[in-house]
A and B are shown apart, each in its own frame.
Chain A
Amino acid sequence: MAKYLFRRVLASVPVLFVVAFIVFALLRLSPGDPAMILAGDGATPAQLDAMRHSMGLDRGIIEQFVIWLSKVLRGDFGVSLITGLPMRDLVLDRLGPSFALCLSTITLAVVVAIPVGVVAAWRQGRALDRIIMSGSVMAFSVPVFIIGYVLILLLSRGLGWFPVQGYRPLSEGIGAFALHLTLPTLTMSAPFIAVISRIVRSSVIEVMGEDYIRTARSKGLSERGVLFKHALGNAAVPIATVVGLSIALLLGGAVVTESVFNIPGLGRLVLEAVLSRDFTAIQTLILLSSVTYVVINLAIDVLYSILDPRIRY
């Protein structure tokens, strides 16, 4: 396993390098000039040239890439072209809210979706199954921002239970932290509950026809035991895959939720960086996102062998 992990980590290096280079090149080739954005219409061409020089944008693409990469390898992600602040500080500042939101979302999604999916599989073709599946289609189809607005209208503006917007870190108290995170979590988890519950349902249905399920039943095991111990355990591999992919998708999906609920997370940082052509910020964030994807994929592969001992690398 250790050898396998080492090989995988090694294989991910060229992947990250290629991603970094493509992103770097695309940014430099796309229209947009941070110096012009910063200085506005009043700047003279000479002043713009001076600003581009101070930002290092007057060098060749390859030279810029090599300089940036050598700094990244030393752990220096550079400074944001727009704010002038170190990227490390900006990312760390936004990491907490994003991490909290992603963790609460995936936790809620898994906690709700797995039993719901198992119950739907158990009641396959009956009214309960149809209701659950109709609900999951709806939760997956309705745009996240509409779910957010409806929840704000009902639970914040209507009942006054939750704040409309904002984020409070845990250091300000568990109550404020939970209150501010509830609506965004409910909003963002809806499509993931839908997807995961459907996968759980189909995976469980598939294994329910297997011999060992019949054997378990014939041994007199309760239906709950059959479902959650034997069926769910053997359906775990595809479920782990979809949960892992959901975690990766959460990183991108958080942009809308973070905007609707005014959560200062990484999703918003990406959006701001793109709109203001903050090249350093975009490069850093996409590189970090790629690293996260690679790590999650690796973690899923490792998890396979734990969930199914027959899988060996």
Chain B
Amino acid sequence: MFALPWGVRRAACIGVAGVVAALGAFPALAQTTVTAVMHAPLRGLDPVINSQYIVRNYAYMVYDTLLARDAANKIRPQMAERWTVSLDGKSITFVLRDGLKWHDGTDVKAEDCVASIRRWSAMDTMGQVMNTLLEGMTVVDDKTFEMKFKEPTEIALTALSKPSGLAAFMMPKRLADTPVSEPIKEELGSGPFRLVMSDFKPGVQAVFEKFKDYVPRSEPASGMAGGKIVSVDRVKWVTMPDPMTAVNALLSKEIDLIEYVPYDLLSILEANPGVVVKESKLRGNQSIARLNFSQSPFDNKLLRQAALLAIDQKDQMQAQVGNPKYYKLCAAAFGCGGAYASDIGADKVIKGQPEKAAELLKQAKYDGAPVVILHATDVPAFAAMAPVVAQALRKAGFNVQMRSMDWQTVAVSRASRAPVTNGGWSIFCTINGLVDVGEPLGYNAASASGKSGYFGWPDVPAIEEARAKFARTKDPEELKTIATDLQRRILDEVLFIPLGEAYSVSAWRTDMAPPLDTPVAVFWNFTRTGK
């Protein structure tokens, strides 16, 4: 038998032992970290009282939801194993799935979910509607709880599964019992990632690590539902106040992904073969101009209709986005491509008709009352909107005055119901995520409940009745009919002027697998490919 000399065998043994040792050490050395620049800095940690999208994105990392919507917008169980609706339709019983644990290792219990729903529904618009119908919630056992309603409704399923606005994240009872006037300052969720508190620097960086005890669902990931399989060890969110710096950092391979790339910087990335640039319609935004119903001149319906006719969506989108690849002209009040999309009223919304608008001004005997537009200049997307609206209205014959300020001042100034001569306003422009726009009950710009409603305070009982009917309806076809009717009324009353839809554009290095195209940027089912 052939035998190697002792020295060679010894050397071979040491070599093999070394390789084995190296392989054993490999998992510890080869931690996969993805570094991403998100659309905004993360400062707060309470997804119930903080409505910023970045806090919602953070919450999807560390918390989980009871229900979720799949890619077809269908309601799916997430933390829930199942739910059953009683025969009379007045009660829904949820059963939690096995293996759910909080990040401190304790079990997720039904009482946690009840407390979480209670806190969330006090702040969320759709949750508040749900509460008007809710009779009570009862914990049946550690894994089961029941929601009882005053009348047959499935609004709880819609509200608890909606992916945005304030999504209903579950948290331990200890945290969920915090009054809504006080923010939660710690993280203790049951989601696929843990926030590394020692590395969290508000406004600078947030580091997440894989929660090893997280048990993903067995179904494939779809939309915000399905198995959340984490394939990276750490995700690092870095804040870069200057978008140009983020672009340079991506090109220099210092970061892996930019969640939102400003449109004017896209050409730099598109020209680079090491970077993938991709638009997401799901994460797009609807731009709107909101009118003030409580003051002259837009307390006059004819003048609101004139304003609607005066504005040309293409002009708006050209100023805001530029490249037609990244926007869509759209009249749908609840978003194009969504479950309740409709083109009713498109003939008035898309193409500007200043002559017809001028005719309406004459018909309304417009006396030149000033139209004051609040112009936010510090946010690029907002900065481009108001001047184009102003020019279109001037062309139709309106007397327009612009008030330039930062967005936070707009946010406060729009709460004023005073006449325009006394600090009041007529129009402000804003953008809303399509993920929120697509919910007729949750979309605040679609409400018309007067003084208690969204800025602008339209008071149109017929719209509120239609929304109430929507809340009580289950049949998808009927829901669609109600939504179409709502759109007709919204455009007739001109609750807001749709200015078009802009897509969100992300960029990542080619050695990353494409992230899931979801309404909210997520980091599960996402890893490096090593290409």
Contact = CB atoms under 8 A, between A and B. Distances in A.
Contact of A275 (B239, B408, B413, B452): B408
Contact of B123 (A32, A43, A163, A262): A43
Interface string B45-76: 10001111000000000000000000000000
Given A93-B201, A276-B408, A262 B49 contact: no
A39 B49 contact: yes
Contacts of A264: 201, 203-205
A54 interface: yes
Interface in A260-289: 260-262, 264, 268-269, 271-272, 275-277
A47 B241 contact: no
Interface in A24-49: 31-33, 36-44, 47
Given A41-B51, A164-B252, A275-B406, A262 B241 contact: yes
A66 interface: no
B20 interface: no
A160 B248 CA distance: 12
A207 to B, nearest CB: 44
A241 B455 CA distance: 53
B254 A163 contact: yes
| Residue from B44, B166, B180, B242 whose CB has the most chain A CB atoms within 10 Å | B242
Contacts of B240: 165, 262
B109 to A, nearest CB: 27
A67 interface: no
A36 B238 CA distance: 26
A31 B444 contact: no
A41 B444 contact: yes
Nearest to B411: A36
A83 B123 contact: no
B478 to A, nearest CB: 26
Given A42-B125, A157-B248, A262-B245, A37 B408 contact: yes
Given A82-B43, A83-B44, A84-B44, A32 B165 contact: no
B245 A38 contact: no
B201 A38 contact: no
Contacts of B128: 44
Contacts of A271: 241
A272 B251 contact: no
A149 B405 CA distance: 28
B185 A84 contact: yes
Contacts of B183: 38, 84
A250 B239 CA distance: 23
A156 B406 CA distance: 33
Contacts of B513: none
B249 interface: yes
A275 B378 contact: yes
B378 to A, nearest CB: 7
Contacts of A164: 245, 248-249, 252, 254
Interface residues of B, number: 51
Contacts of B122: 47
A160 B180 CA distance: 50
Contacts of A51: 49, 181
B182 interface: yes
B47 to A, nearest CB: 11
A32 B249 contact: no
B288 to A, nearest CB: 12
B202 interface: yes
B118 to A, nearest CB: 14
Contacts of A200: none
B131 to A, nearest CB: 12
A298 interface: no
B412 A82 contact: no
A130 interface: no
B197 to A, nearest CB: 11
A83 B52 CA distance: 13
Contact of A50 (B180, B248, B252): B180
B412 A33 contact: yes
Interface in B409-460: 409, 411-413, 415, 444, 452, 454-455
Given A156-B252, A264-B201, A42 B51 contact: yes
| Residue from A53, A84, A160 whose CB has the most chain B CB atoms within 10 Å | A84
A47 B123 contact: yes
Nearest to A261: B245
Interface string A74-90: 00000010111100001
B26 to A, nearest CB: 23
Nearest to A55: B181
Nearest to A166: B254
Nearest to B241: A259
A157 B50 contact: no
B43 to A, nearest CB: 5
Interface of B: 41, 43-45, 49-52, 122-125, 128, 165-166, 179-183, 185, 201-205, 238-242, 244-245, 248-249, 251-252, 254, 378, 405-406, 408-409, 411-413, 415, 444, 452, 454-455
Given A31-B409, A84-B44, A272-B43, 18 more contacts: A32-B412, A33-B412, A40-B50, A43-B123, A47-B123, A53-B181, A84-B45, A84-B183, A93-B201, A152-B245, A152-B248, A156-B252, A164-B249, A165-B248, A262-B241, A264-B201, A268-B203, A277-B408
